[in-house]
Structure 1
Amino acid sequence: MLALLLHGGRSALGMAVGAVLLAYAVGGIVGLVAASARRRWLDELLIRPLDVLLPLPTLLVISVVAVGWRGSPLAIALAVAAVNVPPVARLVRAAALDAASGPVAEALRLQGESWARIQLGLVARSALGPVAADVGTRVTLAVFLVGSANFLGLGLSPTAPDWAVSIARGREGLLLQPWAALAPALMLVMFTVGLNLLADRVLARSRTRTQEAAR
């Protein structure tokens, strides 16, 4: 049980964290481009198709992908990333909109600074606070989606040392050996709660440093 517990987090957490990083890589770029777009039609072209994808039931999408790709971990991770791209893009756009249209960005454009330097050096930095606050919640949701797919048997094989698979496998003998299901469930809870507490502490330290620098 201890060996399964120690090895079970690599698949669940690796798939979830990888999916969130991919979602931010794609959605972050889309959000930055939409926030800095000088033409309204470009903003609409980038954001409106993502609005159509927002109402889709995420677990249903992941289930269809898992069945179509025969439970491939890569396919599930890509599906989790895809369903997180629309909210990430909207979040980054909203957080970066003021900085992208502000006087500092306009002054940098008049000085001939490149688009990449303006976006990554100024606009993206202004969106770090909301993004950091969202990362904890986003990873928690990704862990839930990946765990749900594995728990329902749509992801990894029933013999895989995954926490969600261990929960599904140990629920039948819950009265005989409760830790077979409770231990991996506690690990999932501890990871998600700990990650959110860590994100809150990092944000608090960042605000403190900003206030001290302003003084």
Structure 2
Amino acid sequence: MSALLKTYSPRRVPFGAALRRRTPKTLSGRIGLALLVLTLTVALLGPLCTPYSPDRTVGIPFAGPTAGHPLGLDFLGRDVLSRVLSGGLSVVLYAGVATLAAYAVGLTVGLLAGYSRSWLEPLLMRLTDVLLAFPALVFLLLLATAFGRGITGVVIATALIQLPPIVRIVRSAALEQSLRGYVEAAVARGEGTLSVLRREILPNIARPVAADAGLRFSWSVLLIAGVNFLGLGLQPPAADWGLMVSENRGGIALNPSSMLVAAALLGALTLAINLLGDALAGGTE
């Protein structure tokens, strides 16, 4: 028996290598990757390329595009291009923080719940069900209101909303892997729980985790942008794509680009993440 365990080769694939093997090969995956690179470039490098200060009034409100202002002006006469270039960083930053926080907790809880055969599993899942009982948008609005106007409560609420589905998906994937032969062999060799989770189970659930992480990030983007649109998140004069849609919707007939460009970038970002997530999960063209 000991000889068999020594010669048995479990499927140990480093987590990063498992993701690199899923480089998108389908057309939809490549489109998603191209859109993601484009929107992230605008969001991350845009603040360095603004022709004007995003808070500076430079002309008549809702003036149309000109040579000096290719996207025209917004409802306060500020340069729309400058605000678009500055408004993506907050979207990516806060949605990324919410998703990372949710996954830091959800991945840990899901792995323990899926691998554990003790009282820990039902306890963790019942606590998760308590959060799942609250309607997502109502819970987000209540917590955002409780924290007062600002982004802190919105990020915390978004992370908590994403937590239950993350736990369920990770638990299901970990439970399936825990019944495989290479996990049983690792346990028989005397490896501890953390070693089994880190070296045996986690690398082999990389595909569903990567796909779900993309979905959670896109939901975080939409949730935070929606709350900003309602005026409970970031406050003026902050440059934010969601806030720009809210502020300029009244002047869409005068200067459509004051609202539509920010809305299009939000849509492109969420579409890109969903397409790329499907490709990483082995989606078809």
Which residue of 1 is the match for residue 208 of structure 2? 130
**Deviation by residue 1:35-56 (Cα, 9 ceiling, x = unmatched):** 11122x2211010121122131
Paired residue secondary structure (1:8): helix
The alpha carbon displacement at 1:166 in A equals 0.4
**Deviation by residue 1:109-145 (Cα, 9 ceiling, x = unmatched):** 2212232221011111221111122122211211111
Which residue of 2 is the match for residue 62 of structure 1? 140
Taking the TM superposition and a 5 Å limit, the aligned residue runs for 1:56-205 are 56-204=134-282
Unaligned runs of 5+ in 2: 1-79
Q: Which of 33, 45, 59 is residue 123 of structure 2 equivalent to?
A: 45
The alpha carbon displacement at 1:204 in A equals 4.0
1:2 and 2:81 aligned: yes
Unaligned runs of 5+ in 1: 208-215
Q: Residues of 2 paired with 1:139 and 1:68: CA distance? A: 24
Which residue of 2 is the match for residue 27 of structure 1? 106
> One-letter code of the match for 1:14?
L
> One-letter code of the match for 1:17?
G
Which residue of 2 is the match for residue 15 of structure 1? 94
Q: Residues of 1 paired with 2:157 and 2:251: CA distance? A: 32
Greater mean deviation of Cα atoms: 162-171 or 98-107: 98-107
Greater mean deviation of Cα atoms: 160-169 or 93-102: 93-102
Distance 1:201 1:85, change over 3 A: same
TM-score (norm 2): 0.68
> One-letter code of the match for 1:16?
A
- What is the total number of aligned residue pairs between the two structures? 205
> One-letter code of the match for 2:110?
G
Paired residue secondary structure (2:133): coil
Q: Residues of 1 paired with 2:227 and 2:102: CA distance? A: 18
Q: Residues of 2 paired with 1:140 and 1:55: CA distance? A: 22
Structure with bigger helix share is 1
**Deviation by residue 1:147-200 (Cα, 9 ceiling, x = unmatched):** 111000001113210001100011011111111110000000011111222223
The alpha carbon displacement at 1:90 in A equals 0.5
Asked if the contact 2:151–2:233 (Cα under 8 Å) also holds between the matched residues in 1, the reply is yes
TM-score (norm 1): 0.89
CA RMSD of aligned residues (A): 1.7
Please list every run of at least 4 consecutive aligned residues from structure 1 whose deviation after the TM superposition is greater than 4 angstroms: none
